[in-house]
A and B are shown apart, each in its own frame.
Chain A
């Protein structure tokens, strides 16, 4: 069974640029969630995708957007990067879509640095 994978591992971007982060879900999982973890903080929920549609969103501006593909993999896109976007971005996969309370399995994360 393959776990959650993310790419790239590390990324350095300049303020104002755009970035795309990628995630492959664990085998058999149909739901993908994205979280932002700033240094020394707990992860914050960005949004979740189920059946290629956004299913819940946290307190993040519209310049954070995403996609889910038919194979359940996902992308997180961030436009107009700001210095505060520097963080570890975590992808998590799970089963069930619209049913709450399910455990989520996390990838190793992508470390984004904005200069």
Chain B
């Protein structure tokens, strides 16, 4: 069975400093991994996706994530936080076989301090 653990429920950083959101996953098969962002009262927006190509994945708005199979991790990073990055972030796993079921983590709320 697939599962995702987001290691921090809340991360707070200052504007202009790096962002690190941590995610560990469990999957029986070769997983696809995603990060989605949800701004208040909005739907989910895809930030980036990993599907067994390059282990370092670049996404939108300057975000990137590194797939580390040995550590079963898929941490999300950004070199310099912007006020508009304040939102809820979800790490998501999906097996590459079978139905396209996305399994979400509990989310990490990112707060940006001026």
Contacts and interface: CB of A to CB of B under 8 A. Distances in A.
B99 A56 contact: yes
B101 A56 contact: yes
Given A100-B94, A103-B34, A103-B49, A108 B101 contact: no
Interface residues of B, number: 26
Given A42-B105, A101-B32, A90 B43 contact: yes
A58 interface: yes
B32 A43 contact: no
B35 to A, nearest CB: 11
A56 B103 contact: no
Contacts, number: 76
A7 interface: no
B41 to A, nearest CB: 8
A56 B98 contact: yes
A45 B95 CA distance: 14
B44 to A, nearest CB: 4
B51 interface: yes
A92 B100 CA distance: 11
Given A33-B100, A41-B107, A56-B101, 18 more contacts: A31-B100, A33-B102, A43-B104, A45-B101, A90-B44, A96-B100, A101-B32, A101-B51, A101-B94, A101-B96, A101-B100, A103-B49, A104-B46, A104-B100, A106-B36, A106-B43, A106-B45, A108-B42
